[in-house]
Amino acid sequence: MTFDIDISVPLLDIRADEYDLLGDLFTAIPLYGKGKASFVVEGFRFQARLFLKQSEDEKSILVDRVEEASFTIPSLKLTGVIGGGNIDAIVNAIVEEVLFDYIHRFRGAISLIAASIAPPALNTLLEQLDTWRFIAPLMPR
């Protein structure tokens, strides 16, 4: 059984009330900050084709494999993450110009890696649920 999924999340607003960061990125860019931080992702979209199967104990629906996975992240804004918020405009410009370029350039590889990691991770949870009885009536005989 296969399902084509298309999940859109209009807004992901992730906040940390308190953080303390000290380090560097590739020994070139110092990362530091203390205080509140937020990551705001707008327009995240994930698409894939899920191939499902029945568990060995015949009680659960499991993910056999994921194909044609892709995603888009049109906007990501960081606030207070680096330098305690003093350089947010610079950080966001770097994120848009550099990080987004790499994300879009390697989107296919990232999607393939996520598609290979997803089934075992999801199946750990799905094996605990008695879900096959909901799908069984929909299966062709």
Q: Is the pLDDT of residue 127 over 90?
A: yes
Name the domain count of the chain. Answer: 1
Q: Is the pLDDT of residue 124 over 70?
A: yes
Instruction: Tell me, yes or no, whether 99 lies in a domain.
Output: yes
Instruction: Tell me, yes or no, whether 141 lies in a domain.
Output: no
Host domain of residue 52: 2-135
Instruction: Tell me, yes or no, whether 101 lies in a domain.
Output: yes
**43-48-52 Cα angle (round to 5):** 140
Q: Is the pLDDT of residue 43 over 90?
A: yes
Residue 33: the pLDDT is 72
The dihedral built from the CA positions of residue 76, 81, 83 and 86, taken in this order, carries a sign that is positive
Instruction: Tell me, yes or no, whether 140 lies in a domain.
Output: no
Cβ–Cβ under 8 Å, residues 39 and 32: no
